[in-house]
Amino acid sequence: MGYILGIGSDVVEVARVRRAWERFGERFLVRVYTPEELGYCLKASHGGRVAERLAGRFAAKEAVMKSLGCGPGRAPWRTVAILPGEGGPPRVELRGAAARRAAELGIAKVLVTITHEKEYALAVAIAEAAVPKS
């Protein structure tokens, strides 16, 4: 277990994400989500739950950015990828500006959890350091 350097949470209304997707289509999707995230969320096997999965990842990205002490202006959406875990919680992959911000802070790993309740998606992120900062 590492040392906690940051915590973030976010809640998103699934309908809000669905409206953005319907209104802006692919432009919205490619601005916010990585190709890997879209591959996972848009799978036919997810049926009518696509907007729910997109909303969960949106909330998780926000939560991760908050745990890093920044927002989309400092670390663009696609610099935080929320990928499927191997039979467990989602896996966070930081890229570009988000990875640089984590390195500046001494963050070795970011853990995230996502939950859904009817029309909402909630995510919590914990940024950990491998060793305590002196």
Q: What is the C-alpha separation between 70 and 7, in angstroms, rounded?
A: 12
**What digits encode the pLDDT tens for the residues 20-54?**
999 999 999 999 999 999 999 988 666 678 999 99
Residue with tokens 């909402």: 120
**What digits encode the pLDDT tens for the residues 2-15?**
799 999 999 999 99
Higher pLDDT, 108 or 71: 108
Of 54, 96, 64, 91, the residue nearest 78 (C-alpha): 96
pLDDT at 1: 59
Choices 3.30.450.40, 3.90.470.20, 2.60.40.10, 3.10.20.600: CATH for 3-129: 3.90.470.20
Concatenated DSSP letters for 77-129? Answer: GGGEEEE--SSSS-EEEE-HHHHHHHHHHT--EEEEEEEEETTEEEEEEEEEE
Q: Phi, psi at residue 30, to the nearest 5°?
A: -75, -20
**What digits encode the pLDDT tens for the residues 44-80?**
666 678 999 999 999 999 999 999 999 888 899 999 9
Q: Where are the domains of the chain?
A: 3-129
Mean pLDDT of 79-94: 94
